[in-house]
Structure 1
């Protein structure tokens, strides 16, 4: 059995659906993990607002950044990717993530000017990931 499955080949936000809700709780009061809650909010926004139409929202279990829940990976072909975490699983975080992903998609190589970063993503960057076949200069 393979652990990999096909995914969107364009710009995407991949949410860890198994992330904790908070440092103190795995799930919220309704029994939903923080990552699953954030993934649902991302998907709802992406499906309902045309500005996010080009961004695929996908999820997978565990991005291995457990201390930095709720975690997402923003990526696009041929561009630097980013792993961000330490989000509250709420609509404000989902909107900030998707707003950053729109700027990331529009960028030439995945570098978004700091002036264009939504406030909601500042302080949440964990890792910069080079695309296959490249490293950053």
Structure 2
């Protein structure tokens, strides 16, 4: 079966098969960039919890079909605008920026985070925004 059930709450969904970088599919250790980014995002999410923040749901799946912008993430939450972001490096620094933005996104009313609040490491990574089912952006 192509689909499997997951929690319907706010989540970061990551591609675990993304390239390592523009030249190589795998890192020198043989792991795909997506798998390395998933691990880095999970570390950043765990660190946020250790600092007293609510848990950040991190899920993974193969291929988000944004291959030209490898290390791709989909931010989703019920009733909120969703976002697909990419072009990250599979590093702790980029993972921390993504988790920091997700926390702002999760805590927003409709998924809109004012630009002035965006972490520097998130700028330039947006690919698309998606309206929630039954809505369009006004």
Instruction: State the match for 2:71 in structure 1.
Output: 70
Q: Deviations over 1:101-132 (max 9, x none)?
A: 00001111000000110000100000001111
When normalised by structure 2's length, the TM-score is: 0.94
The answer (yes or no) to whether the contact 1:80–1:129 under 8 Å persists in 2 is: yes
Aligned to 1:57: 58
Q: What residue number does 1:110 align with? A: 111
Q: Please give the per-residue CA displacement for 1:7-31, whole angstroms capped at 9, x wherever unaligned.
A: 1221110110000000000010100
Instruction: Give the aligned length.
Output: 136
Distance 2:108 2:48 in 1: 20
SS in 2 for 1:82: strand
CA distance in 1, matches of 2:129, 2:41: 21
Tell me how far apart the structure 1 counterparts of residues 19 and 53 of structure 2 sit (CA, whole Å): 26
Partner of 1:133: 134
Q: How far off is 1:35 after superposition?
A: 0.6
What's the Cα RMSD here?
Answer: 1.1
- Runs (4 or more) in structure 1 with deviation over 4 Å come to none
TM-score, structure 1 normalization? 0.95
Q: Which ranges in structure 1 are unaligned for 5 or more consecutive residues?
A: none
Q: Distance in 2 between matches of 1:123 and 1:4?
A: 30
CA deviation string 1:13-65 (max 9, x = no partner): 01100000000000101001111100011112212331553320000000000
Which residue of the partner structure matches residue 41 of structure 1?
A: 40
Aligned mates of 1:39, 1:75 — CA distance in 2: 16
Q: Measured at CA, do residues 74 and 52 of structure 1 come closer, stay the same or move farther in structure 2, by a change above 3 Å? A: farther
Cα gap change, 1:25 to 1:118, in 2 (>3 Å): same
SS at match of 2:74: strand
